[in-house]
Amino acid sequence: MDSEVNIKAQAWLKSNIDENSKNEIQKLLDADDPSELTDAFYKDLEFGTGGLRGIMGIGSNRINKYTIGKATQGLSNYLLKAFPDEKISVAIAHDSRNNSDFFAQTTAAVFSANGIKVYFFNALRPTPELSFAIRELGCKSGVVLTASHNPKEYNGYKAYWDDGAQVTPPHDENVIAEVNKIENIDDINFQKDPSLIVEIGEDIDEKYLQEVKNLSLSPEVIRRQKDMKIVFSSIHGTGITLVPDALKRFGFENVHLVEEQSTPDGNFPTVVYPNPEEAEAMSLAMKQAEKLDADLIMATDPDADRVGIGAKNNQGNFQLINGNQAASLLVYYMLKMWSEKGKLDGDQFVVKTIVTTDLILDIAKKFNVEAHETLTGFKYIASIIRELEGKKKFIVGGEESYGYLSGDFVRDKDAVSSCALLAEMTAWAKDNGMGLFDLLIELYQEFGMYKESLLSITRKGKSGADEIQEMMRNMRSNPPKSIHGSAVEKVYDYLSGEVKSQDSGKIESLDFPKSNVLQYTTEDGTKISARPSGTEPKIKFYFSVKAPLENKEDFDKVQQSLSNKIENIVEELSLR
């Protein structure tokens, strides 16, 4: 048995933890196979830039009362340093995962034990409402207990700052430093002060839903299309608490819930992964839509910050619409409505991440609206909103991983408001004799057809991590001269903060936070991005290719051609 693992497990046994936890550790120590003990204690679960995420269980490398307590103690210590002589309050919410409520209660206890006032949602709520509550209640921070769309064995802890966005530099690194200073469980104060914990619920719901309702741009269209058939699934998560209400407030009267997935359940019994990015998780909604001949399918992940959608395609079959396509449609609809209402005066902007489709840039250019790009992660979109607050008006933003935001009263991706606006957009398209797919094809005809794809490569263990780093080193030092017969024009290195023109050798600076991301762009509009995961043993490659679409009848042919091109690029770069 690894002596360091044994020492750490024994230290936990001797600390002031509860008897059940001690018994669990003793079972691991007594087991014939030490692998479970090793996995539970070989390292500390890292508090990353977004917080914690991991498998639930006992041990320093697991999500449990004590790792949650440690994170909260570290965040408390930093808040007390960051806001000296100020009254500090935080907001806490949780999703439908197993133990999320318990972990939320634990978080509230530690904050209150440190003299920090807690606004505590009295039942599960979507992550975007937590973001809203932080700003609405004047909090300095907030926490939501969720592991987003991870499998049922996982849970997590997302930390937010006073603007309602996930913690960004320099606060993220400072919080991490405070968490890492806590070496002993006995340094965590779990002694709850009930006088500092205030329950919140329907009052915040009402204020939040009113802000969502204020986003509506086509109420007259909805009045005509109020019977449009919508199928919605919350995939056993928090979306059920607010999405149906938001749709009702917009004026939709024909919303069909996927009842098998409507009850919040941390075991997610009907899916393998509770992730609307996965076709399998959307299958029940798709079947119901086919029976009803629905106009729109929507499903949210457990904490209701992501939404997946589907509609009939050009062949009359139901098809899922990916995150790049949905983001493009939403940006187009929002800008078109703002334009028609005379609300665009040059002081508005949209935001996307660097791995999200450039179709959004084309759409923004058409409407003369400023478009910003930022690193992957919605907290960076929120950072731009914060930087431009009071100077320019944020309209809409999105990322390819099914996260969208409209308006600035929330500072994280928001599936609740997005569901309402996506439904309104579908009603507007229907009012104009189109389905969502028809509208998408029209965009491709106007701006060119974009096809995006994501390839994720997993390499486990230390050797795998080394292999991924070597892959990135090779791509930096030996960029290809051409890709699929088109010259590579520029290499964007977000780690060095430089962009290099391949033909001239000219180097310019990138105005972005440093991040281990590399991008190649070619003469024919192809873009390839490489990004190692910060939390998993994998590297992600994002592909974007483009071609003209002269006629809607050519859609299938052009789409297949672009798919083939991506496959050829993957082979050419030896990524299989």
Q: Which residues carry out catalysis?
A: 148
| SS3 letters across 165-214 | CECCCCHHHHHHHHHHHCCCHHHCCCCCCHHHEEEECHHHHHHHHHHHHC
Count CB atoms within 10 A of the CB of residue 134: 28
Q: Which residues pair with 394 in a beta bridge?
A: 349
Helix axes 436-447, 359-366, angle to 10 degrees: 80
- In degrees, to the nearest 5, what angle opens at C-alpha 391 toward C-alphas 387 and 395? 80
Cα–Cα nearest to 233, from 267, 272, 274: 274
Distance between CA 277 and CA 258 in Å, rounded?
A: 17
Q: Beta strand pairing status for 296-300 and 307-312?
A: antiparallel
Cα–Cα nearest to 246, from 419, 407, 424: 419
Distance between CA 60 and CA 150 in Å, rounded?
A: 20
Phi, psi of 82 (to 5 degrees): -75, -30
CA 384 to chain centre: 16
Count CB atoms within 10 A of the CB of residue 27: 12
Tokens of 274: 């509770």
Cα–Cα nearest to 322, from 276, 364, 271: 276
Instruction: Identify the residue whose tokens are 């007594």.
Output: 30
Tokens of 269: 């019994």
Distance between CA 394 and CA 133 in Å, rounded?
A: 19
> 3-state class of 7 per DSSP?
helix
Spatial contact of 448 and 558, defined as CB atoms under 8 Å apart: no
Burial state string for 240-259 with b = 16 or more CB within 10 A and e = fewer than 16: bbbbbbbbeebbbeebbbbe
